[in-house]
Structure 1
Amino acid sequence: MARHLPILLVLAQPVAVAPALGADDLGRWHAGPYSFSDEMGGFTIREISGTGSAEDPVVLIQEMVSASPVTLVVRAEKPVRARDFSGNFAHGFIHMQIVALNNSGLPWLEFEFELQEIVGEPSTFGDGLSFDQRRTETSNISSDRYAEYSRDFEPYDRLIFRNGYTDPLQTATFRIFITDFTPRWEFFLVQDPTVPFS
């Protein structure tokens, strides 16, 4: 099911953010109760800010040096307690704004995100991890470069942004909402730009 995105509205919305932080000694970038890591390679996190709430989303700025899929590692850095928004726990809900610099040398025609609880294995409905799967209509998913998106469920949890492009050395911004109703201490966000066939 394709959704058309109000691109101009997305650009006009102000975003309040917490101060940007650097990586810790393990190479993890902290935002709210979670950390984010580029340890699996292919891209570099440049900056992060925010707490992950709707009002203060995690804003992750990254540079992608390849057109191959890359994997962002997300870890709970506080004890896990589902739906506890006191600030003392990783609760399983993360509003994110990912700003990706295309330094791959190739244009991106589409851009795909996939959630995985185990690297290389599709996420299923039973694991509770999704892109706001319980809502069929959502304002939590958008992009400034792609006019439409579709969501694939079972056996995957995927978002595919299409009907747009990102040229080399341009940035694309994606707003997503990750929900995990049975929160784990670690999960993975695979990012895969589609490039033209030669």
Structure 2
Amino acid sequence: MKARLTLWSRKAWRKAVGPISFGISCAVAVFLLAMAFMPSTATAAEPAWHRAGGFEFSDRLGGFHILSVTGAGTVDDPIVIDQDLNGLGPFVITIRNARLAGSVAAAPILRLWVVCRVRNVAAGVWVGFDVELQEELRRPSDYWDGLSFDQTRAVDRSAFHSDRFLVGERISEPHDRVRFKNGHVNSGGAVQFHFIITDMTPRDEFYLLQEPVLLFSLFPQSVPQSLSRIRG
């Protein structure tokens, strides 16, 4: 009788536990399958690096979208960066000099002709536009770090211009900046900015900040329209 009960108990135990074991096995299999696909998913989510002229350009810091980058970076074939900008900014392009990656040799002076073609996909009107260079993010590039918008003035100032703004003013202190003004870009409109980046001591990575100057026109009715403020 004891042997029969033991045999019956074993069969009952297997019958009861079988579905549970199968369920655990399925859960483990699904978990392992998900883990196997995680690296591919993470890689796909990384922002793209656009390559042109021996450089790499990325919108990885967010807030805007680089559509394409083309050109060699010369006066006859400048780097052309097509972008959509939405919001207040600043919009930061990360630039890598692929030719310097892992190199210990002295690099030649960098001189890069750039055209930024920008579409205003925000709701406001741009009445100015600033571009700024930084060797270290969120730290203004001073006069002595070598990175600038043609700090040596080797190129005529007419190379700094726009199709929608009359003036392209270079500012060396307290930061390296070009300020485009005397014009406007409506929401949905596009604009081109032409400038030159130079670096006397080239680095393998630096940053180009872009910041629209917005027209603020939403004020109480009691405030005369002539007093509408412009940030900048």
TM-score (norm 1): 0.80
Cross-structure match for 1:72? 93
Cross-structure match for 1:56? 77
Q: Which amino acid aligns with 2:107?
A: A
Counterpart pick for 1:194 among 196, 199, 213: 213
Cross-structure match for 1:37? 58
How is 1:35-184 mapped onto 2 (pairs within 5 angstroms)?
Answer: 35-79=56-100, 81-83=106-108, 92-135=110-153, 137-184=156-203
Residue 99 of structure 2 aligns to a residue in which SS? coil
- Return the index of the structure with the highest Cα Rg: 2
2: distance between equivalents of 1:64 and 1:174? 14
Q: Which has the higher contact order (CA 8 A, sep 6+)?
A: 1
Aligned length: 167
Deviations 1:48-89 (A, max 9, x none): 110101111001100001122110100011126533xxxxxx
Considering fraction of residues, name the structure with more strand.
Answer: 1
CA contact (8 A) 1:151 1:159 kept: yes
Give, in angstroms, the shift of residue 155 of structure 1.
2.2
2: distance between equivalents of 1:31 and 1:111? 24
Identity of aligned residues (%): 36
Unaligned regions of 5+ residues in structure 2, if any? 1-45, 219-232
Give, in angstroms, the shift of residue 26 of structure 1.
5.6
Question: What is the RMSD computed on CA atoms of the aligned residues?
Answer: 1.5
CA contact (8 A) 1:108 1:196 kept: yes
Give, in angstroms, the shift of residue 120 of structure 1.
0.6
Q: Moved runs in structure 1, 4+ residues, more than 4 A?
A: none
Q: Which amino acid aligns with 1:150?
A: E
Considering fraction of residues, name the structure with more helix.
Answer: 2
Unaligned regions of 5+ residues in structure 1, if any? 1-24, 84-90
